[in-house]
Structure 1
């Protein structure tokens, strides 16, 4: 029997005291909200805090779970040697509590954007859709199903 393999990730819609949203400029994808893959033995929330600190220099307090994203597309590693697993990503709100904006190997730039600006700076359509649903949180968690490369939006449900 083959067991399914999933990558678990998390992203944060992080606000500062002025209500601005934290974003990172990835070397591969352009502007996006910070986050990344959860490591083995790590909780989702601890992994999100770690990823945001690594990418931005900012310590956060996690707020609400507002979205779950399932990337079900078949993709291969950049060098084409093996498939990439399905990615399940959890989208949280959060608040910056300390730290100073700092770049890393994963972030060419780190910046605060007005809520009205953030969607306009995101290049990739699938990332824009994920953030749009997070910004428009209505009290119910949005569950989005899509594939990437090419981007196909399949469904959204509110849980």
Structure 2
């Protein structure tokens, strides 16, 4: 077989959730490096994205959730230096879900110093990372059709595409 220089693409898949409690407040976590965000993380090998969202939110906050519909799909297509022997971090695909809290009390974890519920309208007073702001706005604007976004976060945030799908 001829080597054409083509390389099998590698992507990181992540899932996150806007977790809503009975008071219609949303769950935020204060991370050590990105400030306040809504919880989520990478899908592990052999794991599906819904199970990953449930696991990540439980690990980060102690909240048990029910995962609902996707409101945002986004791609961070920037090229970033790798670590642990990886030369370059691949494109990251994020799926953001609307979730309902089933039980638990917000608590900190190894990944964050605090987790708490805040009023939906006040969440943007806490969130500072531009990509998280755009993804939270997609939640606030959600009317039944998910949005797709492409952006880069380094050296600075640039929203390259935003459209309903």
Superposition TM-score tier, normalisation by shorter sequence = over 0.9
Q: What SS does the corresponding residue of 1:129 show, helix, strand or coil?
A: helix
Aligned match for 1:43, one of 48, 51, 69:
48
Structure 1, unmatched stretches of 5+, are none
Q: TM-score, normalised by structure 1?
A: 0.96
Structure 1 Cα separation of the partners of residues 139 and 149 of structure 2: 11
Query: What's the counterpart of residue 21 of structure 1?
Result: 26
1:77 CA drift (Å): 3.0
- For residues 88 and 29 of structure 2, the distance between their equivalents in structure 1, rounded to whole angstroms, comes to 27
Query: What residue number does 2:157 align with?
Result: 151
Shift of 1:33: 0.1
After superposition, the CA RMSD in angstroms is 1.4
1:79 Cα deviation (Å)? 8.2
Aligned to 2:52, the other structure's residue is in SS state helix
Normalised TM-score (structure 2): 0.92
Count residues in correspondence: 159
Which has the higher Rg, Structure 1 or Structure 2? 2
Report what 1:133 is aligned to.
138
Unpaired runs of at least 5, structure 2: 1-5
Which moves more between the two structures, 125-134 or 78-87?
78-87
- Give runs of aligned pairs for residues 42-61 of structure 1, distance below 5 A: 42-61=47-66
